[in-house]
Amino acid sequence: MRSPVPGPPPSQSGYTLIELMFVVIVLAIGILASVKLFPVASREQLRDRMRTAGTYYAQQQVETLRGLGYNEISVQEGRYPAGTGTTNLGPNNAFHRFYTVTDMDDPLPNLKRVSVTVRWSNSRGDDSVVVSTYLGR
């Protein structure tokens, strides 16, 4: 008797080497794209932290000035500190704060506008925040 002639092999399931290489390439591109986001996110986080600190220092000065009376010397019209001076704040004196007081004209003669400016430098250049409030008699 003759042995049966072998037929085609049963179908095998699995992935070919080309399919696996394609998956590896797609994953590598995705990982590289997400890795490039980390430095950008880190810079933005630092920038936001600096802005938060600048706003804190400005608000701190506003709260101090709001506690003073309308006729106090520290809230007379002008710039404080005078000229181009600033109060240096924060780690390494990175923040520079000053404020200006402006007497309002008619129809609001009993008000003073106080604007506190805080400036600092970052990787993109100089940045600042201004917080304003009004003092009344």
In whole angstroms, give the CA distance from residue 49 to residue 40: 14
In whole angstroms, give the CA distance from residue 94 to residue 87: 10
Tell me the pLDDT band of 8, cut-offs 50, 70 and 90. Answer: low
Q: 51 with 125: CB under 8 angstroms?
A: no
Residues 17-26 pLDDT 10s: 898 999 999 9
Taking Cα atoms as reference points, which of 19, 42, 54, 38 lies closest to residue 126? 54
Task: Work out the average pLDDT over 32-39.
Answer: 83
Residues 68-124 pLDDT 10s: 888 899 899 999 998 889 999 988 899 999 999 999 888 888 899 999 999 999 877
Domain boundaries along the sequence of the chain: 17-136
Q: State CA 93 to chain mean position distance.
A: 19
Tell me the pLDDT band of 10, cut-offs 50, 70 and 90. Answer: low
